[in-house]
Amino acid sequence: MSNHTVHVDFPGRILFIGFGASARACCLSSCGISHCTGAYLVVTAEDRGIEEAQKYGVKFLKERLTRENYRRVLNPLLGRGDFLVNVSVEVSASRW
């Protein structure tokens, strides 16, 4: 258990699209958000960071998101009250 100050009690899941340095820094550090184990999810087209994700209990799905598949991929991962963070370099959130 870390000794950080909890600023927000967020009961939902947080899904990151992309898992580069920015996503890893947010996801794997204590950001002052109280959450349950397994609340973080990652969807990325690359294997980079998979060992870190597994070490911290982050669900990791390697799948490239496209205009044709994003609903099929994301719908089962997101629900009411969940939060999507697009930190990818090649996926535009404006299309959704």
User: What are the DSSP calls for 52-75, one per residue?
Assistant: HHHHTT-EEEE----TTTHHHHHT
The arithmetic mean of pLDDT across residues 15-39, rounded, is 69
Average pLDDT, the chain: 79
pLDDT bin (cut points 50, 70, 90) of residue 55 is confident
pLDDT bin (cut points 50, 70, 90) of residue 94 is low
3-state secondary structure of 94: helix
Higher pLDDT, 42 or 20: 42
DSSP alpha helix (H) spans, the chain? 21-28, 50-55, 70-74
